[in-house]
Structure 1
């Protein structure tokens, strides 16, 4: 099933709707969707390395805009929707500790967590709930999400054919590793904060 999704994503990159689909996933991932945009971004960059920078820009902008929705969920809807999302992921206890650490480390939390496998939606919702400064939230989100997606663009631009060969030969191992990283991000958030 994952192999078909990978092949489908590679073929999607040739379609005019590909950037819109990538933007939608990037937007959703920053506010409520559990799957990171990398599952689309990497195959699309492998299929079209000439558009890697364009795809990274789309992910950055859509992720920051989606982050604003996550911030709004935390600021206005935390007691209903925000709590439900955190409960869905089993992270309610970690959210409270994470929220309290904003008083002292807000800038660093946003910068560091935006680069890690810890789901960014947890950062965006908690930022709103903790009433973190919106201006700094946007600036730091642009920096951290941009760094994350453009780092992928650099890797795909320089090593794309080699990476594609590794993925093609060892797809099941790579897919398992991706799942471990995604699940590990949720687990890290739950137990570290």
Structure 2
């Protein structure tokens, strides 16, 4: 099922309506969808590098709006909608464990790391932010910074290096971003321990 979903998402890049689909995928990825918007963003930006910045803006705005929808799902419709969605993806146990153990400051850090690296999945964090009542303004600012940084960095890499960077992005960028997220978490823990 996942492979078919991935292939379908990739096929959207060739359509005239690709920008609309990019917005739709980026929106639903942040609240309920499994496939990241990068899957559509990368082939679009490689095919039309002169539009990479435009695609990054579309993906960022749609992703932030989707994150806000996820926040609202977690805040106002957890039992009715968010819980079944998390259960469907097999993320409910992880979500409940995070909800019980993550404090306000750690969740803000997770918002940044999930926005940059998808670790943990962004839909889980956006729903969690609403469920534990993270300030919506702070949530929006962190989403803009994290998602914008991700998409605009990808746009810059694709504009600068073109097709040869694609393999690197698809195979190694996630690991590098995860390492950066790990460093952020370690710095946060060190700050909390020593301050």
Could you say whether these structures have the same fold, taking a TM-score greater than 0.5 normalized by the shorter chain as the test?
yes
**For 2:24, what is the secondary structure of its paired residue?**
helix
**Cα separation, 2, equivalents of 1:24 and 1:102:** 31
Is it true that 1:140 corresponds to 2:142 in the alignment?
yes
Which stretches of structure 1, 4 residues or more, deviate above 3 A after TM superposition?
Answer: 1-10
Q: Give CA-to-partner distance per residue, 1:158-191, whole Å, 9 cap, x none.
A: 1113235x59xxxxxx6xx59x99xxxxxxxxxx
Determine the structure 1 residue equivalent to 2:180: none
**Cα separation, 2, equivalents of 1:71 and 1:148:** 20
Determine the structure 1 residue equivalent to 2:83: 83
Seen in structure 2, the aligned counterparts of structure 1 residues 106 and 117 have a Cα distance that, compared at 3 Å, is closer
Seen in structure 2, the aligned counterparts of structure 1 residues 65 and 159 have a Cα distance that, compared at 3 Å, is same
> Would the aligned equivalents of 1:102 and 1:130 in 2 still touch at CA under 8 Å?
no
**Cα separation, 1, equivalents of 2:92 and 2:9:** 33
Seen in structure 2, the aligned counterparts of structure 1 residues 161 and 101 have a Cα distance that, compared at 3 Å, is same
Name stretches of at least 5 consecutive residues in structure 2 with no aligned partner.
176-195
- Give how far 1:7 is off: 7.2
Seen in structure 2, the aligned counterparts of structure 1 residues 5 and 97 have a Cα distance that, compared at 3 Å, is closer
Seen in structure 2, the aligned counterparts of structure 1 residues 4 and 148 have a Cα distance that, compared at 3 Å, is closer
Q: Give CA-to-partner distance per residue, 1:59-108, whole Å, 9 cap, x none.
A: 00000001111011100111121111111121222112322313341321
**Cα separation, 1, equivalents of 2:73 and 2:8:** 30
For the aligned residue pairs, the C-alpha RMSD in angstroms reads 2.7
Determine the structure 1 residue equivalent to 2:186: none
Give the alignment's TM-score, normalised by structure 2.
0.77
